[in-house]
Structure 1
Amino acid sequence: MRFLSRRLVMPNDLNFAGSLFGGRILEWIDEEAYIFAACQLDSKSLVTKHIGAISFETSAFQGDVVEFGLGVKKVGRTSLTVTCVVRNKHTKQNICVADDIVFVHIEPDSRQPRPHNKTREQLDSLKLEAPE
């Protein structure tokens, strides 16, 4: 799993208890997973079909830097399934794990699924640049 991006937890990201709002982290996960899948498939014509199990493990607070680890779990004919781990950059504790995030490659005009023509082997051989 590669940790590819980071975000700073800001005051408007907090819930009433002063910790990172669950809805905000889910929004970030969907966006980060989409970017990852779009880069993997070299296509922006993707839609989120499904997000499976989500596990909140610890809290994040204002000023924390969170980082997003993403990896390919499964490659289908028209779909790509990824896993996302969000962790605290400083402590390395997992904040949230979202498993089985399924994206479907679609025809832009008809919005119907279409093959993405990528294999697991092709995706595994991609060299992604990650921040150090």
Structure 2
Amino acid sequence: MTEPRHIVRKWVKPEDLNQHGALFGGRLLQWVDEEGAIVAVTQLGTTDVVTRHMSAVGFVSRADRGDLLELEYGVRRFGRTSVTLSCRVENAVTGEEVLTLESIVYVSVDPDGTPVAHGRTVATGGTERLRE
């Protein structure tokens, strides 16, 4: 059985552009982190997650106004208090890879921000864990 993949699409709008008319790298990283956190929430079954680590970032190609990007996430592994995701961003218009992150680590925390065990070991494709 293959692991569930989580795909999110983002449309590059004028407010997302840098001074060169291309997608601003910071905006893309914001999308990657925010959507990754949503994936982590669905995997861990709690909205109390924080970003702990992102692997090296290398921008491979540009995206321009009007391009549609696909952010594809996979669950790499579960730790005691964390979940590690991978993310690949592809330009659906050009077919080019824009960015790949080998690992993004999100940690489950209590109200004080202290890491807490989540008890998850297998990825899910839905949101059912939020209702458990």
Superposition TM-score, scaled by structure 1 size: 0.87
Aligned match of 1:118: 120
Aligned match of 1:27: 30
How far residue 69 of structure 1 moved from its aligned partner, in angstroms, is 0.2
| Consecutive aligned runs of 4 or more in structure 1 exceeding 4 Å deviation | none
AA aligned opposite 1:127: G
Matched, 1:37 2:35: no
Aligned match of 1:97: 100
Structure-2 separation of matches of 1:107 and 1:66:
34
Aligned match of 1:87: 90
Structure-2 separation of matches of 1:82 and 1:118:
14
Structure-1 separation of matches of 2:107 and 2:61:
30
Matched, 1:59 2:75: no
Aligned match of 2:125: 127
Structure-1 separation of matches of 2:31 and 2:71:
9
How far residue 98 of structure 1 moved from its aligned partner, in angstroms, is 1.7
Q: Tell me: CA distance 1:3–1:61, structure 2 relative to 1, closer, same or farther (3 Å).
A: farther
Unaligned segments of structure 2, at least 5 residues:
128-132
How far residue 3 of structure 1 moved from its aligned partner, in angstroms, is 4.8
Equivalenced residue count is 124
Structure-1 separation of matches of 2:67 and 2:24:
13
Across the aligned residues of Structure 1 and Structure 2, the Cα RMSD in angstroms comes to: 1.5
Structure-1 separation of matches of 2:20 and 2:26:
14
Contact 2:5 2:125 (8 Å CA) reproduced = no
Structure-1 separation of matches of 2:93 and 2:44:
31
Q: Deviations over 1:104-132 (max 9, x none)?
A: 10012x2110001101xx21xx2349xxx
AA aligned opposite 1:111: G
Unaligned segments of structure 1, at least 5 residues:
none
Structure-2 separation of matches of 1:3 and 1:91:
21
Superposition TM-score, scaled by structure 2 size: 0.87
Contact 1:3 1:67 (8 Å CA) reproduced = no
